[in-house]
Structure 1
């Protein structure tokens, strides 16, 4: 009976043909180098269970610690050389060890799959020995971990699933060259053990972790020729089919509200699709799966980046941040040969990203005659996820108003993320490593975002609504206007994402009970107007935060503040000053990477304007923070914001407060614009 395989015959044929093709030499040589590095290091498993991978980071600088294969009792930070010790770090080191071993044996196994016996004895022997070693150890390793399930090789069910997929692919590549005894040992000791453990870790919710665990079970089901495992992975009550049906929103984004987690979940989903393409070919047509590769392209900035919303690594927001996901499009092209995937790859590789990985050799397109498009069509409103975008050829502003995003969501309704001329100016910081000491008091708090908080307390979970939108490409000026109203009784509101929110965080915060926040952005080719209106159920401090990278340009009227923070979040602010007492109007400027931002503001009477320094992302990069603090049951904050390289075009900004209406006039060399900003209703 033929063995059930993860790699198809066509895939193996393409891998072997391209192995000697000069056009794919970079991918081949990279795999050969990884294999040789692994053989030289000859890393071996240790007897103890692994820990949580995120724990192997420096808490101060939020970077991975230096990996010493000898497993020292102390672990060095690569930034300042500080040594860290303790079981969390040691467990993280063991997880890193097992990850490095897996990366090495995967490279060796791919070489074996590409060239067969010509790969050499050691390239086959090393992965064989490692799989047998793990097969002997796995049944006796205790489950370990305290974050979202347990692992044995690792310290978490998620990390165990990722590791298991690698083990399946290694076994698939070398199985033909193993003895019957070796195959029996690996299948019974390791693969069956992984299947049993990961089945126990399923928690029955719509979640990226569940997708990875189900993907691993699908791989194990295929490699072990086990239809029951495949059925559990695909058809279970919260199996992969249900995950996609509920977790992929109608606008194509994964429900966690984070481009990073969109791609992370997609990593496991694509792996499952590839594993199942012969056993369950209809799985490739599952609703939303293929289009998950296209959705991010509809929100992409001109430098091939995306905002790092919610729990998202900020690398996606750097120039060509999407290039780190080239492997997804190589794999996607092999599953669905869409020419748009080839264009994405052409864009990735044109700017210098090397074309590497097995997927490029075995699944990706021939890019000889493929060119990246000059621009990607922008979808300005993503209604289910709650993204509204105002953009032109050099600026991009995101207004975020949608669902919270489950456990990876941030309390940041109606926040702005500003980018211009290839530079992150006032960005959503995303998230550093989860072991960062800033996670609780700062990253996951409203104050670290460009939005409003009441009574010096973070926003409870909520979902906003887009009220008005005008695309500036189709109208004389652009408009994005959204609002959010918090219920008086949070327990009376049911989330619309079903099992995604079965762990509700219904926080009762009196300051927000019935409160309403409305934000309107008017967009022109030269600047934009930002109007924020707040109504609270009682008199409270109303803080509007603005965080900008780079340097706050000189003001000689900043006064030191006797800063007495009410909690650990406000204690993060350092170098706290305030603008000297003034009328309701003021102006500040910042400069970063050659781009200047100028902000002209109008605040409610009695507003205190506080400046401070706060951590950015990475935390070692400080940012400038402005806090506009009013008091009362209502507030209206206005601002005109201009960005430019070199001198700006605005000559003057004049405000006229008519009580219920605020008039702002913006004088430019060739015209004067006048805007009406009402206390309620639509700004014009």
Structure 2
């Protein structure tokens, strides 16, 4: 495969060099009577200096050359197919939506090709397309699809219109000096300035808030302002609209959007508020990925046009930190963890992240670790930052981007909880344990305090459901969010965390959730054999406190790291508590009896329970249960401490879902009823594999015999783990003192334990 890729790269490079020579020869006879030869454009993403440097390097930078060749192939095909600017009609995934999306992407690429290849056909393509849009724009009201809170012009929502303007601004910059002044004046007056006003002044509840939508809005207005040298638009983008007669604390009916309470808005406010000092974006990695392109592309434009702003130094270089944080929020395959609303499978191979990685490398001291990500992406942005990456790759400067255990704080000041990631890496196996103890996450947040997910070698072992949406699939609600996103995916029972009395955290109330966050308690990954993270939640239910502690353990007793999950619950009154584990695959064995019902019934009536089929329910009737399943040819087991009265429920997503919008994924739910204080204690392990060719099962049984709660009070919780080998281990957590210097002495069952620090594990 490597040899094949190298051959393709060489062929693409040769073809590109021949094309460049041909274009240069043809350009000698091209009329330039309509060109403004004394202009200053391009000056946003490309500059006159960077264009000259790129031209001098063409044919000598393989990844850049191959990307340029692929881009030229795409745009040449688009030119051959002709210009199509349809009257807007469809939602996401429909013909008109897809065509306008293709148009802005092709225009952006064509503008770059005009600058780098000096072939006027690309400028003509952009010009002719823009003139068609300039004719269409004045005839349009808001989009005929009325679902969005902020309906656009060319698209069903202003968000996509801002996508269009952000990309098209780059194309316009590339041909600005080539256009006759009367044409640029015409486009400015009839298309671009009205469009910028529409997205801002005419739609303030879209433009003037803290949210990824507004970031796109701010950036689109700022980008076209930079092209037209319109300082008023640039300031509007940077600082938001002033003196607006709108409710700055409003929450809309659609998605719970909340505006910044002090009225502060604009691009800089969207840098200040959603990003933590560690670079974590409060909406979650899926939307951080989406927002990073406008953040970084506008920052690059500002760096080129207004270097005095020092935008890459803003908030202690938070944009550069955010790129590192985002890469760390991926599994072994580069796919983003689906925290909050997140579509599974989205990864840093997406085209927007190619630009983001390149810009971060070029403007962030050229970290060689980013080159390894760019090498995996196998493409670059066609400007100075992409050229720098391509040169670094050509010269072999890359170093591995090692994703290590990390805690990323949430909140503008880093004091609103965090996401913890514990990792284990060796040549044969990778594990990633992700625990979420953040703030709400704006409108895309879920009601899932102290939830977690587990990955092995890039595959989900215990999953976060993610979002309920088929992006750009027209048949599924026009590509928009499905109602099941609210009725199931956001609900607490859809996540691997505790639900009380079949009611979601904060009673599924966005405003209450937004005013509260979990608290970090402990994070220590200094010992690769025993890594630990711990957090508390005291506001999800009035009068109830949660404290979850998770360990990733690799020791001599097992081949693969295992997880210890300790979830302590205390409440002022008796409640029912449910802790689900959402797994994949086939059940292999259970230590409890299971009976298949003659017909299925929903597990409950609301709060996501009505979307779960109850496949079986059993009493534990033991102080331990064990559950083993097979997925991706690997065996996994959960060993959990129980009481005789605890219920074990096997459930499956899909009830009350007539349009089959939800995946039919299974779960095992541990239920404790009529209880004030309790502890859920479990061991989660990967322990063997199955070969369907040799039909051999290797290490198909759990290594553990039991897990037992030895002690639980306000100060300490202690567990005993017993392996089938006869080895036993004790975990003791200090519940109220996470200090590493604290000294503890505790007697359990006539045995004395002494240690320093927040926990004991031997």
**Normalised by the size of structure 2, how large is the TM-score?**
0.74
Output the CA distance in 1 between the equivalents of 2:380 and 2:219. 23
Q: Give the equivalent residue in structure 1 for 2:219.
A: 215
Q: Give the equivalent residue in structure 2 for 1:290.
A: 320
C-alpha root-mean-square deviation of aligned residues, in Å?
Answer: 3.0
Q: Give the equivalent residue in structure 2 for 1:35.
A: 75
Shift of 1:406: 1.0
Output the CA distance in 1 between the equivalents of 2:605 and 2:370. 46
Output the CA distance in 2 between the equivalents of 1:362 and 1:611. 54
The structure 1 residue matched to 2:237, chosen from 210, 228, 233, is 233
Q: Give the equivalent residue in structure 2 for 1:628.
A: 670
Residues 125-158 of structure 1: CA deviation (Å, up to 9, x unaligned): 3322210011111122112354242210112122
Matches within 5 A, 1:317-466: 325-334=353-362, 336=363, 338-340=365-367, 342-350=368-376, 353-359=377-383, 364-366=389-391, 367-374=393-400, 376=402, 378-383=404-409, 384=414, 385-393=417-425, 394-433=430-469, 434-460=480-506, 461=513, 462-466=516-520
Indicate conservation of the 8 Å contact 2:687/2:703, yes or no. Answer: no
Q: Give the equivalent residue in structure 2 for 1:602.
A: 641
Indicate conservation of the 8 Å contact 1:387/1:398, yes or no. Answer: yes
SS of equivalent to 1:530: strand
Q: Give the equivalent residue in structure 2 for 1:542.
A: 577
Residues 197-246 of structure 1: CA deviation (Å, up to 9, x unaligned): 11222432222111111111111111111111111212344122222122
Output the CA distance in 1 between the equivalents of 2:361 and 2:467. 30
Indicate conservation of the 8 Å contact 2:218/2:238, yes or no. Answer: yes
SS of equivalent to 2:601: coil
The structure 1 residue matched to 2:552, chosen from 513, 523, 529, is 523
Shift of 1:419: 1.0
Asked which structure has the greater CA Rg, the reply is 2
SS of equivalent to 2:109: helix
Q: Give the equivalent residue in structure 1 for 2:586.
A: 551
Shift of 1:477: 2.9
SS of equivalent to 1:37: helix
What are the ranges of 5 or more consecutive residues in structure 1 without an aligned counterpart? 57-91, 488-511
Shift of 1:328: 1.0
Indicate conservation of the 8 Å contact 1:331/1:363, yes or no. Answer: no
Q: Give the equivalent residue in structure 2 for 1:503.
A: none
Indicate conservation of the 8 Å contact 1:12/1:362, yes or no. Answer: no
Q: Give the equivalent residue in structure 2 for 1:181.
A: 182
What are the ranges of 5 or more consecutive residues in structure 2 without an aligned counterpart? 1-37, 241-263, 470-479, 507-512, 555-560, 690-698, 738-757
Q: Give the equivalent residue in structure 2 for 1:566.
A: 604
Indicate conservation of the 8 Å contact 2:626/2:639, yes or no. Answer: yes
Q: Give the equivalent residue in structure 2 for 1:272.
A: 298
Residues 382-422 of structure 1: CA deviation (Å, up to 9, x unaligned): 23351123222222212211111111111110011111233
**Normalised by the size of structure 1, how large is the TM-score?**
0.82
Indicate conservation of the 8 Å contact 2:640/2:681, yes or no. Answer: yes
Shift of 1:338: 2.5
Q: Give the equivalent residue in structure 2 for 1:470.
A: 524
Shift of 1:112: 1.3
- 1:641 correspondence with 2:684: yes
Output the CA distance in 2 between the equivalents of 1:274 and 1:597. 47
Output the CA distance in 2 between the equivalents of 1:284 and 1:438. 39
SS of equivalent to 1:474: coil
Output the CA distance in 1 between the equivalents of 2:68 and 2:454. 40
Output the CA distance in 2 between the equivalents of 1:458 and 1:396. 27
Q: Which has the higher contact order (CA 8 A, sep 6+)?
A: 1
Count of residues in Structure 1 that have an aligned counterpart in Structure 2: 610
Indicate conservation of the 8 Å contact 1:676/1:683, yes or no. Answer: yes
Q: Give the equivalent residue in structure 2 for 1:66.
A: none
Output the CA distance in 2 between the equivalents of 1:539 and 1:324. 50
Output the CA distance in 2 between the equivalents of 1:343 and 1:375. 5
